Amino acid sequence: MESAQPGARLRLIELTKRFGGVTAVDQLDLTVAAGTYFALLGPSGCGKTTTLRMVAGLEEPTRGRILLDEEEITELRPYRRPVNTVFQSYALFPHLDVFENVAFGLRRRGVPDVTEQVRAMLSLVQLDGYDRRRPAQLSGGQQQRVALARALVNRPRVLLLDEPLGALDLTLRRRMQLELKRIQTEVGITFVHVTHDQEEAMTLADTVAVMNNGRIEQLGTPAELYEFPATAFVATFLGRSNLLSGTVVGRDGDDVLVEAYGQRFSVPVIRARRTAGAVLLGIRPEKLRLVGTVDEVPAGHQAVAGIVTDAAYLGTSTQYLIRTGWGGEFSVFVAADGEARPVPVGATVVAHWHPRYAFLLDGGTPGGTPAVPVDPAGAVPANGVGPR
């Protein structure tokens, strides 16, 4: 099992899981590169945990295959898989102390002397001296570390993490994120991390797969996903997006021309997922700038006029809600760079952006339903779905 590369490449081929009539995971094809930090991001019920459980062997796939490097593990019993899991509930053994919890996997495999390995692992997760404590005597963060050590000590080829930080408060969660990243770099094992928290996924992962309704909507680096989302779901689940539903009306060189709410917009063709028919024009709130009048809009920028209906000061930025002329809502984040003047609620403003920041998504067939429920007025001020 010891090789130059401690982590294995994980491949899922047409992996499917049905519960009764419900398809939880739908013909999933996925490759996770060896030794990388991979995040499976999606709302609750999207099938991400089921996928993880199938890799762990705790759930039997209805169809499909699971491969570690070249070895097929689809049919292997869980205890035979070189894969370990950090559970959302931690699932620490209450009748065993910290040391024995961490030693559990090694002892089951009949490793003769576990003391050194367990101590080293407790040290890695910064729990030296906690050997003889019971799980009930530990804080949530410490329990989380024990759960991590208990899985990692077995040197799995792939470590599965199921919402591992979900039960921690925000500060602790941030700290554990950095910790997880450090540990992954140190041990070089392939990490597959399931979460509904987009910030967590982006902070930790080299590659993120956004999952929805049992399928992967988009896979890529956090920057790729954020800068050029493939679907309206990704655009709104990963950060916020203002989406305008419109129709492609033509081409102008390298630009696609879109008409929405009686206005013309253009988007570079390389930023377009679709170049004909019904589309959604997307623009991130922080890519927008606010000015007082149309005359102040820089040349080449595109603009939407409206009235400020809400302003929330958040320290690093101020978030404005703009009601547009056609009744839609626009989110605008203005960075607190020391130069932006506060804009009062009720002021008439013009929001403008450079076309290279906009992106064009499939808007569904005209009259059909778009991928996400889009506000009839056009803008979707949605954030990541799910509890925080």
- Non-local (6+) Cβ contacts of 135 within 8 A are 90, 92, 93, 94, 96, 98, 101, 143, 146
Indicate which single residue of 40, 56, 161, 283 sits in contact with other proteins (rule: CB under 8 A): 56
> Does residue 95 bind other proteins (CB under 8 A)?
yes
Q: Which stretch binds other proteins (CB under 8 A): 35-43, 101-109, 116-124, 370-378?
A: 101-109
Nearest-angstrom CA–CA distance, 157 and 146: 19
Indicate which single residue of 37, 38, 99, 104 sits in contact with other proteins (rule: CB under 8 A): 104
CB of 232 to other proteins, least distance (A): 36
CB of 372 to other proteins, least distance (A): 33
- Non-local (6+) Cβ contacts of 358 within 8 A are 265, 267, 271, 281, 282, 283, 287, 302
CB of 59 to other proteins, least distance (A): 10
Nearest-angstrom CA–CA distance, 287 and 334: 9
DSSP 8-class letter at 318? E
Q: Which stretch binds other proteins (CB under 8 A): 29-37, 149-157, 191-199, 250-258?
A: 149-157
Q: Which stretch binds other proteins (CB under 8 A): 56-64, 67-75, 114-122, 164-172?
A: 56-64
Q: In what order do the strands lie in the sheet with 359-362?
A: 263-268, 255-260, 242-252, 278-283, 359-362
Nearest-angstrom CA–CA distance, 297 and 239: 26
> Does residue 130 bind other proteins (CB under 8 A)?
no
Q: Which is nearer to other proteins, 56 or 343 (CB)?
A: 56
278-283 and 359-362 as β-strands: parallel, antiparallel, unpaired? antiparallel
Q: Mask of contacts with other proteins, 108-127, x by CB under 8 A?
A: xx------------------
CB of 50 to other proteins, least distance (A): 14
Q: Is 332 in contact with 285 (CB distance < 8 Å)?
A: yes
Residue with tokens 């008409």: 259
Binding residues vs other proteins (CB under 8 A): 56-58, 77-79, 83-85, 87, 89, 91-95, 104-105, 108-109, 134, 150-151, 154
